[in-house]
Structure 1
Amino acid sequence: MKQKEVRTLIVREWDRWLQAQSIEPGGPTGKDSLKFFFELQDARSPLLDFQSRGRDKWRVIHSWLLSEERLSE
Structure 2
Amino acid sequence: MKREEAKRLIIHEWEKWIKTQPIKPDQATGRDSLKFYLELKDAQSPLLKFQGRGRDKWHIVHGWLVSDGRISN
What TM-score results when the alignment is normalised by the length of structure 2?
Answer: 0.93
Give the equivalent residue in structure 1 for 2:53. Answer: 53
Structure 1 stretches lacking a partner, 5+ long = none
Closer/same/farther in 2, CA of residues 26 and 2 from structure 1, 3 Å limit: closer
Correspondence 1:13-52 to 2 at 5 A: 13-23=13-23, 27-52=27-52
Mean CA deviation greater in 37-46 or 21-30: 21-30
Percent identity between the two aligned chains: 55
Report the 3-state secondary structure (helix = DSSP H, G, I; strand = E; otherwise coil) of the residue aligned with 1:21: coil
Q: How many residues align?
A: 73
After superposition, the CA RMSD in angstroms is 1.5
Give distance in 1, aligned partners of 2:38 and 2:55. 16
Q: What is the Cα deviation at residue 26 of structure 1?
A: 5.7
Which runs of structure 1 show a deviation greater than 4 angstroms over 4 or more consecutive aligned residues?
A: none
Mean CA deviation greater in 1-10 or 19-28: 19-28
What TM-score results when the alignment is normalised by the length of structure 1?
Answer: 0.93
1:22-43: CA deviations, max 9, x gaps?
1169610000000000000111
